[in-house]
A and B are shown apart, each in its own frame.
Chain A
Amino acid sequence: MEQHRILIYILLAIVVTNLIRMTPMVLIKGQIRNIFVRSFLYYVPYVTLAVMTFPDMVLATPTPLPGIIALIVGMVAAWFRLGLLPVAALCCIIAYLLI
């Protein structure tokens, strides 16, 4: 494929992705007082990450079982506040051993 076409694709992706990130900052000035909107934005990160983790984590392995076990172990480890890297490493190791 022509190189300039690839560059245009990449530039479009860069511009669109970052405009999406910047728009709310431009629109929302200062603190929101509306309790519903504040509550909504409070729950957003947790729900988003939960939805992205399941079932995708289970589907990422060739068969579901390694993914399921990695998910359960990861949840237990996170419950006991093991931190980002140890939890991530545990999930990888379990998947590696079981695949």
Chain B
Amino acid sequence: MTQRRQDILHGLRDGFPIALGYFAVSFSLGIIAAKAGLSAQQGFLCSFFTRASAGEYGTYTLIGAQAAYVEIIVMCLVVNLRYMLMSAALSQKIAPGTPGYHRLLMACCVTDEIFGISIAHPGYTPPAYTYSAALISTIFWATGCALGITAGCLLPQHIVTALSLSLYGMFLAIIIPPARYNRNVLYALIAGFILSGLCAVAPVVSQWSSGMRTVVLTIIISSVAAWLKPIKLKDNGAA
């Protein structure tokens, strides 16, 4: 088996559980899109090319409110700013000498989960791995949204709610295992949980959107962690 074919198979293997979780989440997203007046085709188009849960939620809410175009632009910038940090991190996991179009295309694949598994890939991350995981999960994501638009109202609310927790379960499965063998990651996670919890109830700060909270806390906590506990550099990109 060639290396590339193996990368594709690994990407599909790791992308499939993400795809299932995406399907559930984008289905509930589709219900919101339907309220904003999107057709199933429009929901599919938007989901396929944005792949941004919080960003899409904001987009559909603003479309429903007939907001100004500039509001969509600002909202997408703030809510999706974390992708900029993720892309920057991913740039360090791409082997030197990889063609520019691969770097751009891999950047476009970045979602919370695809980024998570791409970073978790040992050594440099092969483009084929990220592409195959992104493709299968994106197909499920866009299909889920389109189905949610057409059939969302048929599913009981408590099932939709239970399904929405799958996303957080996947996050836990990505962040907890590294914390087991790296104490600094563990401390960073604990700080993230505590500060995020505090920010959700603190005055003023609790008025921020969750996208804004994510960006600010990520920059602060990661900076402090990098300052107090710098990593030891290895040359295989795994840091």
Contacts and interface: CB of A to CB of B under 8 A. Distances in A.
Are A and B bound to each other? yes
Interface of A: 1, 5-10, 12-14, 16-18, 20-26, 28, 30-32, 35-57, 59-62, 67, 70-71, 74-75, 77-79, 81-85, 87-93, 95-96, 99
Interface string B34-77: 00011000100110011110011001001100100100110011
Contacts of A41: 85, 88-89, 92, 222, 239
A8 to B, nearest CB: 7
Q: Chain B binding site: helix, strand, loop or mixed by DSSP?
A: helix
B176 A9 contact: no
B59 A13 contact: yes
A50 B88 CA distance: 18
B46 A14 contact: yes
Interface string B96-127: 10000001101110101001110100000000
B231 A6 contact: no
Given A24-B84, A46-B188, A51 B231 contact: no
- Residue in A24, A26, A55, A59 with the greatest tally of chain B CB atoms within 10 Å: A24
Given A39-B225, A88-B173, A24 B214 contact: no
A36 B172 contact: no
B227 A25 contact: no
A89 B169 contact: yes
Interchain residue pairs A-B with the least CB separation, the first 7: A50-B192, A85-B17, A39-B226, A91-B169, A88-B169, A78-B176, A96-B162
Q: Chain B: interface residue count, which band?
A: 35 or more
A48 B113 CA distance: 11
Contacts, number: 292
A26 B105 CA distance: 11
Given A46-B175, A47-B218, A38 B233 contact: yes
A6 B60 CA distance: 10
9 contacts: A23-B84, A25-B104, A42-B226, A44-B86, A50-B193, A71-B172, A85-B17, A88-B20, A88-B167
